[in-house]
Amino acid sequence: MSVPPTGSGVPREQVDALFAQALDLEGAQRLAWLDRITADDAALRAELDDLLRRADTPSLLLDPRSLASGPLWQALAQDIGEQTRPEQALLASGTGIDAWRVLHPLGRGGMGEVYLAERSGGEFEQRGALKLIRSGVDSGEFLRRFTQERQILASLDHPGIARLLDGGRDAQGRPYLVMEYVEGVALDAYCDRHRLDIRQRLALFADIGRVVAHAHRHLIVHRDLKPSNIVVNAEGEAKLLDFGIAKVLAADGAAPLPLTRTVAQLFTPEYAAPEQIRGEAVSTATDVYQLGLLLYELASGRRAQTLDDGSPASLQRVICDTVPPPPSQRIDGDRDIAFARNTAPAALRRQLRGDLDNIVLKALR
């Protein structure tokens, strides 16, 4: 879904970028800059003037005298209080959810909380990662996505994908699912900690590629491939986690064309593909692009893209309009990066130059 144009007809992300630049200027310098930027576009000038006027006009709602007892202050105080008291949102150890007993929290994300849990009672013992959607965000969109995640995980039977063990609703009606609990560390940390050389990293990366290919054969795109979503266990086996924002391309097994588009843009900016930044439909090429970013980082120790900030203009410029240099050109004598790859900087540069450079840049094309 593309970003809707503004009143001037200029894309919103461009107006936002120009507005942000204008805010950094003052007085005659700002006026001269506006005259130059909008010389041939009166509608754009009017829109920017309106935004700047609003930004420069003090709001009574933000006056310190009205904040003390006003509804805005109360809402902010309540929100801050909830954020600074995370223990109130976490389930206590021993809490029972159907056949599962919570042991301790593992993490928290925008969708919910994840706990280490064990199956209580029954004829066998089992541990799992219980994912519980957090209170207050159980809207129709979240519930639909949560249900989709359960369906996707249940359909993907592969040793490289964390298995779905159970699912349902707790006593308050909140949806939950229980996934295979994978003990291990994130992919990048594992490679550096064990000083895997380039050949060993490529072998592990090939295993990950086969897992992604398995999902693609089921017409499913992960679209959030990043090191923290890939865990390597003590045996050196990679497991792919979190299909929460995966995409079912064709439920009837027909041509792999997207059936729907989600309203929200759900991605990790540092590992986003250009079509995600533009709000366009994803495809298997999205995962290929993210695999390219992953291989770039595993090989060179650098991210392919360096974001100035999280603004739409920055994301558009860096991800959509900038071609990253080959990984071999990012090896600039950093001995720590070379040491983590069990080699020296000059040797590492030679190993990446040629085929690996071309493969990575092909994936990022």
Phi, psi torsion values for 125, nearest 5 degrees = -100, 145
On whether the CB atoms of residues 179 and 242 are closer than 8 A, the answer is: no
What residues are labeled active site? Answer: 224
Which parts of 289-346 are beta strand (E)? none
Phi, psi torsion values for 168, nearest 5 degrees = 165, -150
Phi, psi torsion values for 316, nearest 5 degrees = -60, -45
User: Measured between alpha carbons, how far is 164 from 157 in angstroms, rounded to an integer?
Assistant: 9
Residue 243 tokens, joined? 């299909």
User: Measured between alpha carbons, how far is 46 from 206 in angstroms, rounded to an integer?
Assistant: 54
Q: Measured between alpha carbons, how far is residue 77 from residues 85, 87, 137, 339 in Å?
A: 12, 17, 19, 48
On whether the CB atoms of residues 237 and 261 are closer than 8 A, the answer is: no
User: Measured between alpha carbons, how far is 107 from 112 in angstroms, rounded to an integer?
Assistant: 9
User: Measured between alpha carbons, how far is 34 from 18 in angstroms, rounded to an integer?
Assistant: 9
User: Measured between alpha carbons, how far is 216 from 222 in angstroms, rounded to an integer?
Assistant: 9
What's the length of the chain? 365
C-alpha torsion angle, residues 307, 311, 315, 321 (rounded to 10): -110
